[in-house]
């Protein structure tokens, strides 16, 4: 049974074809990376998978069910979470609060029901305690305990990237879409992120789709890679095969 599969999806914006017949499969328990020059369609592909965009044709299959056309909230409920290329945190909320937002799909009480339905306050307290324990586990995994009560807007960039990763993990995803998790990081921060991604796979069992411009990061952690350019696929294969493919070299380096 196919775990995750994209079947020939295409999408256009104002007559410009952003994706053209993109197709690939991802096995459960692997790190599958998508590479390509700026503007090649990588983030557009993630937006299609997460329900922000609806492709004009094709299928997106998760556990053999077509999820194309579902809204982002329902796709998150199915077990697909993502981070963003640009950090999308709430700067005037602390780390705990930002991560708790990632638990929203599991919360039954809700803020207003917890505040005004006095008969259910004990249930609300138990529910919040349960979700806080889940978030504490994520903070421990990502080494965020010391930032628990600090506003995220004043934290270092690398820490904010880890918090955004933690918020995605709070959804308890089966598939995690990472859109340039190492962008803007120092060499040491990138090394730390590589270890964290590997831990997420090995400890939590989360399958990972990765977009990343740093080729060293991609080659170090990927099981397989899809290279695209101008919205069209070039090659899928093992890192060494993709790295040395002439069309990939041409897309990145240009013709002589």
Q: In this structure, are 96 and 134 located in the same domain?
A: yes
Whether residue 84 is contained in a domain is answered as no
Residues 152, 94 contacting (CB under 8 angstroms): yes
Q: In this structure, are 1 and 55 located in the same domain?
A: yes
Per the structure, the count of domains in the chain is: 2
**CA-to-CA dists, residue 164 to 168, 169, 171, 191, 236, angstroms:** 6, 9, 12, 17, 29
- Tens of pLDDT, residue by residue, the chain (256 residues): 679 999 999 999 988 999 999 999 999 999 999 999 988 999 999 999 999 999 999 999 999 999 998 999 999 999 999 998 888 899 999 999 999 998 888 776 654 454 444 455 566 677 778 888 999 999 999 999 999 999 999 999 999 999 999 999 999 999 999 999 999 899 999 999 999 999 999 999 999 999 998 989 999 999 999 999 999 999 999 999 999 999 998 887 665 4
Q: In this structure, are 73 and 14 located in the same domain?
A: yes
Whether residue 86 is contained in a domain is answered as no
Q: In this structure, are 131 and 178 located in the same domain?
A: no
Q: In this structure, are 223 and 252 located in the same domain?
A: yes
CA–CA gap between residue 4 and residue 62 (Å, rounded): 5
Of 151, 172, 193, which residue constitutes the final position of a domain? Answer: 172
Bridge partners (DSSP) of residue 11 are: 19
Q: In this structure, are 103 and 229 located in the same domain?
A: no
Q: In this structure, are 184 and 168 located in the same domain?
A: no
Q: In this structure, are 136 and 151 located in the same domain?
A: yes
Could you identify the residue written with the tokens 């640009």?
A: 86
Residue 73 structural domain: 1-79+173-256
Q: In this structure, are 64 and 181 located in the same domain?
A: yes
Of 172, 188, 218, which residue constitutes the final position of a domain? Answer: 172
Q: In this structure, are 177 and 61 located in the same domain?
A: yes
Of 157, 172, 187, which residue constitutes the final position of a domain? Answer: 172
**Model pTM score:** 0.89
């Amino acid at each position: 049974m196919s775990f995750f599969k994209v079947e020939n999806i295409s999408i256009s914006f104002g007559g410009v074809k952003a994706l053209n017949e993109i197709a690939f499969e991802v096995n459960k328990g692997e790190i599958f990376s998508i590479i390509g020059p700026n503007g090649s369609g990588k983030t557009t592909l993630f937006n299609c998978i997460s329900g922000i965009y609806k492709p004009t044709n094709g299928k997106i299959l998760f556990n053999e069910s077509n999820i194309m056309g579902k809204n982002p909230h329902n796709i998150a409920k199915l077990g697909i979470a993502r981070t963003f290329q640009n950090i999308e945190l709430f700067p005037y909320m602390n780390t705990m609060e930002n991560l708790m937002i990632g638990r929203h799909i599991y919360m039954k009480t809700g803020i207003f029901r917890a505040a005004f339905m006095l008969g259910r306050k004990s249930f609300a307290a138990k529910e919040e305690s349960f979700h806080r324990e889940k978030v504490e586990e994520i903070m421990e995994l990502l080494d965020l305990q010391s930032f628990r009560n600090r506003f995220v807007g004043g934290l270092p960039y690398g820490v904010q990237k880890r918090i955004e990763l933690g918020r995605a993990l709070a959804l308890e995803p089966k598939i995690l879409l990472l859109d340039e998790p190492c962008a803007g990081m120092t060499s040491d921060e990138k090394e730390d992120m590589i270890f964290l991604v590997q831990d997420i796979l090995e400890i939590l069992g989360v399958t990972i789709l990765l977009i990343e411009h740093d080729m060293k990061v991609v080659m170090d952690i990927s099981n397989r890679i899809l290279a695209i350019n101008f919205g069209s696929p070039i090659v899928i294969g093992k890192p060494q095969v993709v790295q040395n493919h002439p069309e990939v070299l041409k897309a990145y380096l240009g013709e002589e």
